[in-house]
Structure 1
């Protein structure tokens, strides 16, 4: 009888061990260190041009706002601040457009996020859009921020160096 209980207990432990997830998604995502951040800001500041704004990265479906955003320049600084120089084409009507951005690095997790706010200020109304995306790719000349899970990224921004 003890052998039977031991067998059942062993099977139970085996089933629990095999069925538990080891966060495969986290293991497949790139993790970053503080040294990687030098690619972002070049130890001072570094300008990046927005190459594309996708609402579905996997199908390469661009956002309706792609054209008004791709002429913007984003200057990443060491302190998490991003200066946004908007281009000639506004996303909103008129010249009352605002654009702000910042990045946050969580060294313990190895994750970096960008938050972007775009809006329009009129006499009595403020309209804005904001989103936060995770860095999923970083090289000397290209970086990609996206939302969603690996193989199913949705909103995505692709930056290239000037």
Structure 2
């Protein structure tokens, strides 16, 4: 009986440690807001999805837009800063605006404030990945040449991927 009691005590101790450890892991999980606002973001790459495969493609951003840095605050404000390459003609502009979560934090709705409410632009970004180091969202569809003959064969999903700075 003593062996059983000792074994039972050991099992209970191990189970208690396991429960405490699993609770600690849950406590350490960051919210999507914490992940978004915990770093600044820069464009990393663009991808398209062809027949279930992700293929890296050149972004449609001008080269000077690739070094811009985007920051989101917990107060629902976002801003960008122009990188070292300002396009040479000043066309690379600072962006400011607001952001909110939609649809159970699967959609990031970003409104760029250009100073004129009639021309403010809102984009709803469907988040695919959001970690401490990567922010990936669907970027619509675009025509794509699947077989390399120079003719666009199909519409494919595109993604834009940002990396933490």
TM-score, normalised by the number of residues in structure 1: 0.53
- Aligned pair partner of 2:40 in 26, 47, 55: 47
Aligned residue in 2 for 1:157: 160
Aligned residue pair count: 114
Question: Does residue 72 of the first structure (1) align with residue 68 of the second (2)?
Answer: yes
Tell whether the 8 Å contact from 1:142 to 1:159 is kept in structure 2 after alignment: yes
Residues 68-97 of structure 1 show CA distances to partners (whole Å, capped at 9, x for unaligned) of 222011111112221101113245x61144
Tell whether the 8 Å contact from 1:49 to 1:71 is kept in structure 2 after alignment: yes
- Where 2:55 maps in the other structure, the secondary structure is coil
Distance 2:76 2:121 in 1: 20
Tell whether the 8 Å contact from 2:139 to 2:160 is kept in structure 1 after alignment: no
Distance 1:36 1:55 in 2: 23
- Where 2:64 maps in the other structure, the secondary structure is helix
Distance 1:50 1:131 in 2: 17
- Where 1:69 maps in the other structure, the secondary structure is helix
Label 1:129 to 1:110 Cα distance change in 2 as closer, same or farther (>3 A). closer
TM-score, normalised by the number of residues in structure 2: 0.52
Tell whether the 8 Å contact from 1:84 to 1:101 is kept in structure 2 after alignment: no
Deviation at 1:159, TM superposition (A): 1.4
- Where 1:89 maps in the other structure, the secondary structure is coil
Please give the root-mean-square deviation of Cα atoms over the aligned residues, in Å: 3.6
Deviation at 1:130, TM superposition (A): 7.4
Structure 1 gap segments, 5+ residues each: 1-33, 120-127
